[in-house]
Amino acid sequence: MNYESRGLICKKNFIIDYFFYRSMFLPISTESRETMARILSGIQPSGTLHIANYFAMMKPMIEYQRENELFCFIVNYHAMTSNQDGERLRQNTLEAAMDFLALGLDPDKAHFWVQSDVPEVTELTWILSCHTSLGLLERSHSYKDKVAHGIVPNTGLYTYPVLMAADILLYQAEVVPVGKDQKQHVEITRDIAIRFNNLYSDVFTIPEPRISDDVAVIPGTDGQKMSKSYGNTIDIFEDEKNLKSKVMKIVTDSTPVADPKDPEKCGLFALYRLFAGSEQIEKMRTRYLEGGVGYGEVKKELLGLIIEYFAPFRKKREELSKDKGEIFRILRKGAEKTRQAAAPTLTRVKEVTGLSYAPK
């Protein structure tokens, strides 16, 4: 590609990005193109799911299914980059599926499946890996961050973005909701797809990332980003005794009760606003700014809000846990439906790359 044509592509992508991000701040009409978008996202079964998983990924996915074509899956291949315990991975996969269903995901409205039940994704991953430069992978911030935090690197962790690209491109996803730490992976996917399309033909839809600033970073009990890796999580279906212990141990500063406090710099307030209504939030914000509210009081109120919020979901999950066979049936059916959606893309990829060599 010459520099002139590359410049045209960059200009085109800038225009697309401008209107995409601008649309995030406009009211969404039920008649708009956005309501009919094909949206894809997945979650790793790397352990018990926590409230940051819920607000950053699970809750938006469940809401998207109402007016969009939703592809939502359990990414157990990705989990293998840091988990080689087969029994634990199997159990975590089932638990994640039950969590999603209990929280409101409807398998009749969405494509809902386990990543390893659709073998087409690994086939596409190999093909894409042969079209991905090492330089592109070496620029991955996520890989460097995980290694810096002590995770022993393996080839799977290094090539993680290629598998993620296959996850997205196989289903021709248009919108990929991600956290800020995953935005670069969608950009890598775009780079891979653009290069592939330029080399062969317009096979892949070029996906757009969607990042919600409201829940971009959810603090854990220690004030850092909530993550299982940091051991600072509050689980979605935490039993009440453990939940109380974790909430009451949330790290705060030493500002006296009577003094004003800055709600925007308080991790406890950031968690509070996830569960409270708009009037409650504004009232608490005023109390912070005026002084006179103690962190212990806020923690007790937060505890009650969390228990109340998840109560109906907890009841649904208890029902699901009594019938594991139904969970397996839902996942098998979801995989069958998803494989049908994947087949046209993989067929086209094999045609243009010459992997389908028999005469038509």
pLDDT band at 4 (very low <50, low <70, confident <90, very high): very low
Superfamily of domain 38-217+323-353: HUPs (3.40.50.620)
Catalytic residue among 146, 246, 261, 299: 146
SS (H, E, C) 267-323: HHHHHHHHHCCHHHHHHHHHHHHHCCCCHHHHHHHHHHHHHHHHHHHHHHHHHHCCC
Q: Is the pLDDT of residue 66 over 70?
A: yes
Catalytic residue among 59, 109, 183, 225: 225
The whole-number pLDDT of residue 22 equals 31
Over residues 310-333, the mean pLDDT reads 96
Q: Is the pLDDT of residue 291 over 60?
A: yes
Cβ atoms of 164 and 173 within 8 Å: the answer is no
Based on the residue annotation, tell me whether 225 is a catalytic residue of this protein.
yes
Q: Which tokens hold the place of 282?
A: 């504004």
CA atoms within 13 A of residue 346's CA, in its CB half-sphere = 19
Q: Which of 146, 155, 143 is nearest to 184 (CA)?
A: 143
CATH 1.10.240.10 fits 237-320, yes or no: yes
Query: How far is it, in rounded angstroms, from Cα 296 to Cα 250?
Result: 10
The whole-number pLDDT of residue 207 equals 97
The whole-number pLDDT of residue 21 equals 31
Query: How far is it, in rounded angstroms, from Cα 274 to Cα 213?
Result: 13
Chain segment 187-243, per-residue pLDDT in tens? 999 999 999 999 999 999 999 999 876 666 899 999 999 988 789 999 999 999 999
Based on the residue annotation, tell me whether 360 is a catalytic residue of this protein.
no
Chain segment 15-54, per-residue pLDDT in tens? 333 333 333 333 333 334 445 899 999 999 988 999 999 9
Query: How far is it, in rounded angstroms, from Cα 209 to Cα 157?
Result: 21
Name the percent of the chain lying above pLDDT 70.
89
Comma-separated ranges of CATH 3.40.50.620 domains in the chain: 38-217+323-353
- Least confident range from 136-140, 283-287, 350-354: namely 136-140
Comma-separated ranges of CATH 1.10.240.10 domains in the chain: 237-320
Based on the residue annotation, tell me whether 241 is a catalytic residue of this protein.
no
